Amino acid sequence: MLAGGEVRTVESDPRGKTHVAERAQSPTGDNDAPHHSTAATVRRLWPYFRPVRLPMLASMVAALLAMLCGLGIPLVTQRIVDGPIADRDLGALPPLVGLVLLLGAAEAGFFYARRRFIARPASDVEARMRADMYHHLQRLPVSFHDGWQSGQLLSRATQDLNTVRRFVAFVITFLVVNTLIVLTGLGVLFWLSPVLGLIVLGCTLPLVLLSYLFETRFKVVARRAQDQTGDLTTVVEESVLGIRVLKAFGRGPHLARRFVRQARELRDTELAKVRIFALLWAVLIVLPELAIAGQLAYGAVGIANGTVTTGTLVAAVTVSAFLRWPIDSIGWLLAETNQTASASERYFEVVDEPVTITGPAEATPLPRPVRGHVRFEDVRFAHGPGGREVLRGVDLDVRPGETVALVGATGSGKTTVTALVPRLADVTGGRVTIDGVDVRDLDLAELRRVVGTAFEEPILFSASVTENVALGGEDVSEERVREALRVARAEEFVDALPWGLDTRIGEQGLSLSGGQRQRLALARAVAGHPAVLVLDDPLSALDVHTEAEVEAALRRVLKGVTALVVAHRPSTVQLADRVAMLVDGRIAAVGTHRELLATNETYRHLLATLEDEEVAA
């Protein structure tokens, strides 16, 4: 705890970012992040509710009719007590008892209908929201994903949307219906006896103030619990994906302590929710009991004085008992509504993120055939508005069919340069062109068909070899997959797998060696016959001989393809037609490897550094 009531946390950033955040907290645990009202937040869900509004309305009507049937039973009971029982007329009893049975059966039938009406629509709302979030995540730039913990995104797409589904399927229905039933029940009590109605009303009104206080405190704690759940999900995911590293370095206990600490924080927050909820329930239980006690006291005196009938008292007490659940449920329903509001806020934090990289309204087509002439013209790039420029006027001409190696010290911006060609990031100044057309004027799908990419870290999916190489491309046939595997020198080891092309690769491809994963990633890059190939040092896990084989195969099979290769190894540099040296965000020199080696001292020093790093690795 810091001075001024601030709490310093590392993982519990509501946006899931892994930096230290300071949150000024009120005595209730609120932070200084802006919050919308619960009603305003829930109203944002209306576009998802609109297609299922009729089933939701039908569910409400069925629930209301069921509750009204239940509320009618005390009135029949009054007739039984003041009629057949008081008059000792047992002949009039069977019809009234039959009416009670009919009302009970109707109540059960309407509740069954309510579930049938709403079950599928509620699941449809959840599915549509999850699909929209997933599609939006696919369209968001890489910079967005760099700033968010994957666990935070997972918790929003799963747990938070489950909360929304519960709200649609149950909460909103009974929040409306129970409110109407409480008002109707109070009306029945006033009709039976104004005094008995006032007794119940006097014990019900404090719930309004209590509900307001409860909403204010509970929403803050509920949001904190949801954020902490996202943090905990991230730790679990990182532990599973990094299990080999943890075991190799014996760091399992360290991450276990971190997990336990965050789990305890989440437990403490959940206990805070329980304490708030327990206080509410205590009052919710006491107030109706006081109302029933007051009714019995007044009714007993009234029966003795002849101002109240026995049937009226029995009916009033039965109605009050029937209203127990609608009244008691208000607190829980408000809690669920607040949790839904928090879940919605977290959901919209993601879907409200602007998609900054989009295709133009009217795309410019590339000249046919595509030659793959790539030019960087005074290209500048900075991370975010006002951020430091990583690239400060890059000029580079990659001619059709040639391979240019991009070299530079660590942090010089090589990876950024390669990201600008397929528009994984956009320039903040200047432009990148392919065959004279600015990449920002091209249709994104066409651009990424023309530009094939392979990254330094090979990412494989839990799918077959064919699915990993084709990656869903409709025009990538099995023959193309085979060709791509031959180019990447991967066909031999793939055929040796238990089911060949149909062999499913484990998560992240950890069942394969590093070199095998790299070659599959390279095969994926060339499977679509791209005109431009961007390689962010994807050959780092290969030995020099295999690397040379792959490069030679690329030149033989894909003649005329333009290649821009980030080189971290001197052996890769020597395989390029030309070399571009990146220094301080600018291209300092361009030439063949031999020319630069003979004429540029900075290049010789850089190459020596790369050799030292390769030996150290």
3-state SS of 381-444 is: EECCCCCCEEEEEEEEEECCCCEEEEEECCCCCHHHHHHHCCCCCCCCEEEEEECCEEHHHCCH
In the chain, the amino acid numbered 440 is R
Sort strands 562-566 and 389-398 into parallel, antiparallel or unpaired. Answer: unpaired
By CB neighbour count within 10 A (0-12 exposed, 13-18 middle, 19+ buried), where does 386 fall? exposed
Sort strands 562-566 and 403-408 into parallel, antiparallel or unpaired. Answer: parallel
What is the mean pLDDT of each successive set of 10 residues along the chain, which is 617 residues long? 33 37 33 58 89 94 92 84 74 83 92 93 94 91 81 84 92 90 88 86 74 69 79 74 64 77 86 79 76 84 84 85 80 80 89 89 90 93 82 93 89 88 91 94 91 82 85 77 85 88 75 78 85 81 66 65 84 83 91 89 84 57
Which is nearest to 343 in space by CA: 544, 496, 166, 584?
A: 166
Same domain, 200 and 282: yes
C-beta separation of 539 from 515 below 8 A: no
So what's the pLDDT on residue 299? Answer: 84
Q: Quote the tokens at residue 66.
A: 């069921």
In the chain, the amino acid numbered 188 is V
For residue 366, tell me if it sits in a domain. no
Same domain, 334 and 390: no
In the chain, what percentage of residues exceed pLDDT 70?
A: 84
For residue 364, tell me if it sits in a domain. no
Residue 587: CATH number of its domain: 3.40.50.300
So what's the pLDDT on residue 277? Answer: 74
So what's the pLDDT on residue 456? Answer: 76
Same domain, 469 and 608: yes
| Cross-sheet strand order for the sheet of 374-382 | 389-398, 374-382, 429-434, 437-438
3-state class (DSSP) for residue 15: coil
For residue 31, tell me if it sits in a domain. no
Contact partners, residue 469, CB within 8 Å, separation at least 6 = 476, 481, 484, 485, 520, 523, 524, 527
Q: How far, in Å, CA of 150 to CA of 230, rounded?
A: 8
So what's the pLDDT on residue 79? Answer: 80
So what's the pLDDT on residue 6? Answer: 34
So what's the pLDDT on residue 179? Answer: 87
Same domain, 609 and 499: yes
Residue 204: CATH number of its domain: 1.20.1560.10
To which H or E segment does residue 588 belong? Answer: strand 586-591
For residue 40, tell me if it sits in a domain. no
So what's the pLDDT on residue 186? Answer: 87
Contact partners, residue 264, CB within 8 Å, separation at least 6 = none
Residue 524, domain extent:
374-616
Q: How far, in Å, CA of 442 to CA of 460, rounded?
A: 28
For residue 244, tell me if it sits in a domain. yes
The domain tally of the chain equals 2
Same domain, 386 and 328: no
Which is nearest to 343 in space by CA: 566, 203, 165, 492?
A: 165
Same domain, 327 and 471: no
Same domain, 592 and 536: yes
